[in-house]
Chain A
Amino acid sequence: MIGPMIGVLFDGFAYGMLLFLLSVGLSVTLGMMNFVNLAHCAFAMLGGYVTVTLMNSFNWPFFATLPFAFLAAALVSIVFERLLYRRLYGASDLDQVLLTIGLAFVAVAVAAYVYGTIQQPVTMPGYLRGSVTIFGLTFGAYRLFLVGIALVVTLLLVGMLEYTRFGATVRAAVDNQRMARGLGINVDGAFALTFALGSGLAGLGGALAIEIVGLDPSFAFTYLIYVLIVVSVGGLGSIGGSFAAATLIGISDVAGKYYVPHLGAFLIYLVMVVLLMWRPAGLFGKR
């Protein structure tokens, strides 16, 4: 009884960590600029396809592809930020939603054109494939690895936001953008960097997600919904909130599918709608 339960909890936690990597960037950029970026998961998908291409066409090892998944998503996102996004910072929600949905449509079509609509196969290195037994409980090696990476990323992010000058700038801009500008902080520049960092993390998340959920062009929309749920439940601009919300959503999704499979994703959406009605600004949101 306890064994399967811990297994479900652990799988849910690992899945939640994946959602955290995918969504933390969106949470921070939304909190900073109030920019509703529905193309966020298109950048995650880009990271996934970079890993697939490097592994399958160039025979790179899995680990070596991860930095490139991060960099590719970050670089492409900064180009879009400078060319398109920045023109709409003052615009209405609707314009932002439309522009970024348009970008996501284009990204899905391009991915389908280049790679086809099939699931992309990847073979993980042997040491990530098996399972590990700790105290008589079996854990998937890849999921342990995923949890490890997510925790390292969280520590790095929190450290950077709390203890560096750049982090102080970002926190100031999230808290009160106009005041930060008044103090001479370059909010646009800080935002561009944060945006690139967030998209890069999404790209990394996309690369890590292939083993768990697969990769096909519909990724940009399927996981967009999960990411938006995490962001809006966790609260804008809050890393801790995203972490808690991702864990909650990950565990309730996996547990829901394990214990009440006929409900499907119903449970997740219900959790989200109820939480949002109770706290419209999210669990940890200030506004």
Chain B
Amino acid sequence: MSVALDTPHTYLESQARWHPAEAAFWLATLLPFWLFPDYLVLASQIAITALFALSLDLILGYAGIVSLGHAAFFGLGAYAAGIVSKYGWGEPISGLILGAIVAGIVGYISSVVVARFRHLALIMITLGMGLLLHEAANSMGWLTGGADGLQGVKIWPIFNTFRFDLYGYTAYTYSLIVLFLVFLVARRLTNSPFGLSLRGIRENSVRMPAVGAPSRAHIRKIYTIAAVMAGIAGALLAQTTETVSLEALGFQRSADVLVILILGGTGRLYGGLVGAVIFMIARDQFSGSTPQFWYFWIGALLILVVMFLPNGILGGIAKLTASWRERRGRA
């Protein structure tokens, strides 16, 4: 990138400028309303998954924290929003905020632990906390419905006007707006000095405190923020599908979102979104009645990406365009 690096501020400003491709991407998210009106339910699930992948990107792609238990916060948000509506308060926006708060509180508590570890211990701690929550939800059947899932979730219309319909029209609009708003927050965060110091922590967490960026405090902040965003995603899923299953908390979901993010590319915000679109559409088309074979292709894809596309699809595209530009510049 040939950006004039006069001061950190001009660098950050140049990063924060909207690229035409970004505008095109967000306009393209409106296409399903006209092109695929039968697939709006799927589109809303894609938007929710994209939001979840975006939250993981903040801690994995920017702060370099490998988490195998991120679904814990997704599930917490989902159960919080689902349970409050089951007991008579089905207002969606406040349900969403409640999901975010519950996930954020647990996220902050666990961030104190997470910030202290690296490498295998970190992977095991995140995995262990995810499994703990899964078992807790499983054994508290009176609250969560256990293995049968949470039944009887009733969501009121948004602003008392927009009813959740069978075709997913409201669901997709609602999820897309929430996704876009959260994306704006994430974009602002990553293009701030805070976001820059997170990248510094990813590269060298020991050296960052020496230049005035306390690694652990920053990790605690971003981990809590990511937990809040994952909680919002979970609450969205609970509200749009009007059910919560144990699977919302499971290891499989943590692994899936990791696959989605890696597939798209980490550390570039859009990676999770693009990954979610590809993953969810492919799963919808290919998995059918035998999900275990679908995982053969996921596994093969993961091996290929790690071996040949270390920065995911978006990283590959960026590399291609860079080499193309260079060749054109030379000619």
Q: How far in angstroms is the closest Cβ of chain B from A46?
A: 15
Please measure, in the bound complex, the distance between the C-alpha atom of A263 and the C-alpha atom of B132, giving whole angstroms.
10
Determine whether the beta carbon of A108 is less than 8 Å from that of B123: no
Task: Tell yes or no: A132 within 8 A of B by CB.
Answer: no
Q: What are the residues of chain B within 8 A of A102 when measuring CB–CB?
A: 298-303, 306
Query: What is the bound-complex CA distance between A99 and B125, given in angstroms?
Result: 20
Q: Is the CB of B124 within 8 A of A112?
A: no
| A277-B306 contact in complex given A36-B120, A110-B296, C-beta closer than 8 Å | no
Binds B, one of A8-16, A58-66, A90-98: A90-98
Main secondary structure of the interface of A (DSSP, over half): helix
Q: How far is the CB of B309 from chain A (nearest CB, A)?
A: 11
Task: Please tell me if the beta carbons of A106 and B135 are within 8 angstroms of each other in the complex.
Answer: no
Instruction: Report A-chain residues with C-beta under 8 Å of the C-beta of B303.
Output: 84, 99, 102-103, 106
> Judging by beta carbons under 8 Å apart, are A280 and B117 in contact?
yes
Whether the Cβ atoms of B295 and A105 lie closer than 8 Å is: yes
**Cross-chain contact B123 with A221 (CB below 8 angstroms):** no
B: contact size bracket: 35 or more
Q: Does A174 have its Cβ within 8 Å of any Cβ on chain B?
A: no
A84–B292 CA distance with the chains assembled, in angstroms: 23
Q: Is A281 an interface residue (CB 8 A)?
A: yes
Separation of A107 and B127 alpha carbons in the complex (Å):
21
By the criterion CB–CB under 8 Å, are A109 and B299 in contact?
yes
* Closest beta carbon of chain A to B61's beta carbon, Å: 10
Inter-chain contact B296/A97, CB cutoff 8 Å? no
Question: How many whole Å from A223's CB to the nearest CB in chain B?
Answer: 13
Asked if B4 is an interface residue, CB under 8 A from chain A, the answer is no
B121 at interface (Cβ–Cβ under 8 A)?
yes
Q: Count chain A residues whose beta carbon lies closer than 8 angstroms to a beta carbon of B.
A: 45
Chain A CB within 8 A of B128 CB: yes
Inter-chain contacts of B255 with A (CB < 8 A): 101
B113 contacts which chain A residues (CB < 8 A)? 277
Q: How far does the alpha carbon of A229 sit from the alpha carbon of B124 in the complex, in Å?
A: 7
Q: Which one, A155-163, A184-192, A267-275, is touching chain B?
A: A267-275
**Distance A269 CA – B68 CA, assembled complex (angstroms):** 14
Decide if A273 touches B132 in the complex (CB within 8 Å): yes
**Shortest CB–CB separation between residue A232 and chain B, in angstroms?**
4
- Per the bound structure, the CA–CA distance linking A268 and B176 in Å amounts to 40
Q: Is B257 an interface residue (CB 8 A)?
A: no
CB proximity of A233 to chain B, nearest CB, Å: 9
Cβ-based interface call for A170 (8 A): no
Say how far A279's CB is from chain B's closest CB, in angstroms.
9
Closest B residue to A280 using CB positions = B121
Q: Which residues of A contact B259 (CB under 8 A)?
A: 98, 101
Cβ contacts under 8 Å, B225 to chain A: none
- Collect the chain A residues with CB atoms within 8 Å of residue B294's CB: 109
How many angstroms between the C-alpha atoms of A84 and B303 in the bound complex? 9
Chain B CB within 8 A of A55 CB: no
Q: Does B93 sit at the interface, judged by CB under 8 A?
A: no
Which chain A residue lies CB-closest to B290?
A112
Distance between Cα atoms of A30 and B299 in the complex (Å):
22
| Given A95-B306, A269-B131: A105 touches B120 (CB 8 Å cut-off) | no
Residues of A within 8 A of B119 (CB): 34, 93
Contact present for A106 and B124 (CB under 8 Å): no
Residues of B within 8 A of A87 (CB): 307
- Asked whether A254 is an interface residue with its Cβ less than 8 Å from the other chain, the reply is no
Residue contact B124 to A228, C-beta cutoff 8 Å: yes
* B240 at the binding interface (Cβ < 8 Å): no
Which chain A residues numbered 106 to 132 have a C-beta less than 8 Å away from chain B?
Answer: 106-110, 112-113, 117
A-B contacts besides A101-B302, A109-B299, 9 pairs, CB < 8 Å: A95-B306, A98-B302, A98-B305, A102-B298, A102-B299, A113-B296, A232-B121, A264-B135, A269-B132
Interface pairs (22), CB distance under 8 Å: A84-B303, A84-B307, A93-B123, A97-B68, A101-B255, A102-B303, A105-B302, A106-B303, A107-B299, A108-B299, A112-B290, A221-B251, A225-B131, A263-B139, A266-B132, A266-B139, A269-B132, A272-B124, A272-B128, A273-B128, A273-B132, A276-B117
Chain B residues at the A interface, C-beta cutoff of 8 Å: 60, 66, 68, 113, 116-117, 119-121, 123-125, 127-129, 131-132, 135-136, 138-139, 251, 255, 258-259, 262, 290, 292-296, 298-303, 305-307, 310
The 3 closest A-B pairs by CB, nearest first: A105-B299, A102-B302, A109-B296
